[in-house]
Every structure is written in C-alpha cells, then in structure tokens.
Amino acid sequence: MRWTADGLDTDRAFFHAFPPIWEPYFGWGERRTVTRPIVDGIIWSLEQEQALDVLAMNVRTTVVKLAADGSLVVFSPQAPTGEFFRAIDALGPVSHVVLPTYALEHKVYLPAFCRRYPNARVWVADGIWSVPIDLPLPLLGIDPSSGGVLKRAEDRGADDVAPPWADEIDYKVLRVDSAGANPYVEAVFLHAASKTLIVTDLVLSIPATPPEVISRERLLNLAPNDPADAPAADTEENLKIGWAKASLVVSFLGPSRQSQIKGGAYDGKLKWEPGFEASFEKISDRLIPSPILRTLVFSKGKGPTRRFVNEVCDDWGGEFETIAPAHYDAPVRGDCASLRAAFAFIDDPGEDGLGLTTPGAELPAEDMGVLLQVNDVLEKIGLGKGTEL
C-alpha cells in the first residue's frame, strides 16, 4: 500500500483507512476485478488478487441473484474500486450484503460497500470479532441493525428474524471455541435451486493453473529457484511454476523445499530446491480444508467441526453438487461424500496422528514442519489446546 494515489489506475484504485499496520489493508492500493459466472444468470464470482510479496492468492466476492425480485445478495465484498462497483451494478440492484466470517480479508471492505449501497440490509454471522481489540461491530463500521445476525440453529430464539432470502438461500453457522483466544466462525450457504454450496474458508481447491487475476509479474519473479535469475521468461509453464510456489507458501507458511537467503544482495528472498512440484501435485485440483485451518482450527475443535459437517450432510445431503469457496477455484465439483472425505482426518488420524495419509485428506508430511512448530508455540502459550471433542 502507499500514501498517495499517484500512478495508480483510477478505475482500480482505492483508499482504506483500516488501522492494521500490515499490507494490504491501509492506505492507497490498486486491485483488478475479474468477473465470472459460477451459475449462468444466477451466481457470479468477482475476484481480486490478495498479495503480499510471495503470498499471493485470489479472493472472491460471491453474488447471488434472487429469483423472487432479481435483486442481489453480496457475500464478502472486496476492495471498493470503480471497476468492482461497476461489475456489481451490471448484475442488478443490491438488496443484501452478508459477512460470513471474522477473517480480515473478508470483512475489512464491508463498511465501504455499505456506504456505496446504503439501502442494502446487512447480515452478519454470530460471533464476529476484531483484532487486536474486540470492538463492537458498529465501531468497525459494520451495523447489522438493518438486517440481522446469522445464528446456529440451536442458538436461534423466537425474536430472531429470518433473512428475506432464506427461502432461496439456506444457511448454517460453524463455531469452534477451542482454537485460540477467539472463536472460529463461518456461515455457509446452500443455494438449492442451483445445487451450490457457498463457503468462505471451510474448504478450497487450488487450481494447477493460476487464476487470471494473479499478477503475471509476481509469478514470473517467483518462478526461478534462485532469485538471482528472476524474472523468468514470460511463458505459461513459468507462470504455473510461480503459482505452485506461491500456493505452497500460502498453504504451509514454510514448505520443505523453500528456504530464506540470509545476507548478501538477496537477503530475505526465497530459494527453492527441486521437489516442490510433487508437494504441489498433492494439494492441487482437489477439495481440502486449508492446511493452516486444518492444523490450527479444525483439528483443535474436532467435535464442533465433525457435528457441523454431519449437519450439513444430514440436512443438505443430495442438495448440492458444486461448491463455491472464497479462494482459489470456483465452482468446484463437490458433494457430501467429498466434503466428508476432506475432513476424514478428524476420525481417522492414522499412524501419524494427524491424518496426513488418510484417504481423501492426504497432505505432504514433509511440508508440515513450520505449521506444526507454530501449533506447538500456540499451545505452549495457552492458545488452541483442542479441548472440544
């Protein structure tokens, strides 16, 4: 991010005054928006790049057109650029906006979106919190009083109002309280007419080919094994190599075939060894939870996660055939069988105790080192003991 808008594409530029000190949530920025249909005429994907140096992935706003009146329900709006708003307006009038989870990249732009569409009703998953101080939502510019709070079925009372879109888009809320100081919260949605399950971070599918919105320059700079050889030639193969490396870093924080150079002209840059390709093959083009969330959240809250997956499959089994996550590929072929397989590590931890070889839930063990170290540190300081069964 930067302090001035000089040199930015005015149609893709935005300013955000959110207080975190890390990128990309403070100051001027520039993001391209790519719009694609997920279900023709009904559900769309509006993607932007979320990137910090080598950490690069796409982040998605999912938009559903209601059959009842042709208006839009917008899930997790992204950076408020002219291009983004123009894409929204081309799809129809906005009637509702939904904040399905607490994660910063999915909620930070909601206030700007609400200022652009002041008549949109706001719906927020129950239990949303903020960092570093857990402030009331209105102080964050998020006011659900025009809409309501999306609660778990067991928490709903007689006074809770069902969203007007509930006849077309059903919802459930996952809450894990044993993964840290604050709960993991995520609402998922079933659009029954199109047999589509809309999720945020519950599961994902990393494509072998980089999404269109990802910067080619970034990937070509990451493609060489030695940063001294960057950038690589602009070929599709090199773009795939750069994407594989970026995806491994995002997934594992410190994959086994990558190390950081210390000292010299390339101090802090990443150097790679051959063999990362096999790790990427093991995590790409399949439905999985993020390895980070799997390790630090879902494995800590096996009970609530298991009950949630069972509830989704018991109540919605046979009602969805595709899944639309907020990152990486969408739509993804997926049903209850594939969802259960993705979370099979919960009940089948295998010989390693982590389920890394459990059919359907495999992960490359050699790349888990940094994640497991992070997990150990968090447990030592009293976060994420995994007490829920």
Inside any domain, residue 162: yes
Q: How many domains are contained in the chain?
A: 2
Same domain, 160 and 222: no
Same domain, 23 and 109: yes
Q: Domain limits at 139?
A: 13-167
Same domain, 72 and 161: yes
Q: Where is average pLDDT lowest: 127-136, 185-194, 315-324?
A: 127-136
Same domain, 163 and 220: no
Q: What's the whole-number mean pLDDT along residues 294-309?
A: 95
At a CB cut-off of 8 Å and minimum separation 6, what does 221 contact? 227, 230, 231, 232, 242
Question: Which of these, 94, 100, 47, 98, lies nearest to 66 by C-alpha position?
Answer: 94
Picking from 283, 314, 334, the residue at the C-terminal end of a domain is 283
Q: Residue 323: is its pLDDT beyond 80?
A: yes
Inside any domain, residue 18: yes
> Nearest 10 degrees: CA dihedral of 141, 147, 153, 158?
120
Same domain, 17 and 154: yes
Inside any domain, residue 28: yes
- Looking at residue 115, its pLDDT comes to 93
Q: For residue range 259-294, what is the model confidence (pLDDT) as tens digits?
A: 999 998 889 888 999 999 999 999 999 999 999 999
Same domain, 43 and 141: yes
pLDDT > 70: percent of the chain: 95
pLDDT confidence tier of residue 76, bands split at 50, 70 and 90: very high
Q: Residue 305: is its pLDDT beyond 90?
A: yes
- Give the 3-state secondary structure of residue 59: strand
Inside any domain, residue 152: yes
Picking from 283, 311, 329, the residue at the C-terminal end of a domain is 283
Inside any domain, residue 274: yes
Amino acid at the residue 113: F
Q: What's the whole-number mean pLDDT along residues 27-34?
A: 89
pLDDT confidence tier of residue 8, bands split at 50, 70 and 90: confident
Q: Residue 20: is its pLDDT beyond 60?
A: no
- Looking at residue 364, its pLDDT comes to 96
Same domain, 26 and 135: yes
> Nearest 10 degrees: CA dihedral of 318, 320, 325, 329?
100
Q: For residue range 89-119, what is the model confidence (pLDDT) as tens digits?
A: 999 999 999 999 999 889 989 999 999 999 9
Inside any domain, residue 372: no
Picking from 231, 259, 283, the residue at the C-terminal end of a domain is 283
- Per DSSP, the residues of 19-35 read --SSTTSSEEEE---EE
Q: Residue 388: is its pLDDT beyond 70?
A: no
pLDDT confidence tier of residue 22, bands split at 50, 70 and 90: very low
pLDDT > 90: percent of the chain: 76
Same domain, 116 and 260: no
**Dist. CA 59–CA 48, nearest whole Å:** 6
Q: At what angle do helices 276-283 and 236-252 cross, to 10 degrees?
A: 70
Structure tokens at 40: 């023709």
pLDDT confidence tier of residue 142, bands split at 50, 70 and 90: confident
Q: Residue 21: is its pLDDT beyond 60?
A: no
Q: For residue range 213-222, what is the model confidence (pLDDT) as tens digits?
A: 999 999 999 9
Q: For residue range 159-173, what is the model confidence (pLDDT) as tens digits?
A: 888 999 999 999 999
- Looking at residue 15, its pLDDT comes to 81
Q: Where is average pLDDT lowest: 2-16, 69-83, 143-157, 241-255?
A: 2-16
